[in-house]
Chain A
Amino acid sequence: SQTIHQWPATLVQPVGSPLSLECTVEGTSNPNLYWYRQAAGRGLQLLFYSVGIGQISSEVPQNLSASRPQDRQFILSSKKLLLSDSGFYLCAWSLTPYQAFFGQGTRLTVV
């Protein structure tokens, strides 16, 4: 069966520090991969999606970047965090247009 791992679950980082969130998927090949951010009252905002290794599409101009070094690995990064980067970050994968599977999320607080 397919599983998605996302870590860490909680992270507190100072302003100006770097960020690296990792997501891995097991049990499937060549999935579409996604990073979403969820802020209170704003729903899930699509940040990046990837259809294959090295192929990244950015949805929102921001302080973040994403990379897909392996088929089932998706990384969200920042060189210098801002206060506005705080939020709940969710990784997801899909193979169909009607179902995405989400990880358990990382709650990031920038202080």
Chain B
Amino acid sequence: DQQVKQNSPSLSVQEGRISILNCDYTNSMFDYFLWYKKYPAEGPTFLISISSIKDKNEDGRFTVFLNKSAKHLSLHIVPSQPGDSAVYFCAASVGGSEKLVFGKGMKLTVNP
């Protein structure tokens, strides 16, 4: 049973607009969440994270929102750039442990 779900496999947006990537989780013990970006033939790269004691974390163009009651988090990219085109993975852990559980990923395409 998938504990971290990224239900939309792909998203296409225009350059300059907002990209919203969603992630749902089922394990209420998860208390640390991360987003990774992955280009083809490369390893994932850390993007941004959030602890369950917060409901929002910002880093430049990237903002992650956490709704604990809904077990839902989202990644907002504003403004979107063509270089943001990649596969984005949501991941979760308990207590920041090594046992990261990843979603299946979502392919974002930003069109010029």
A binds B: no
Chain B interface residues (CB < 8 Å from chain A):
none
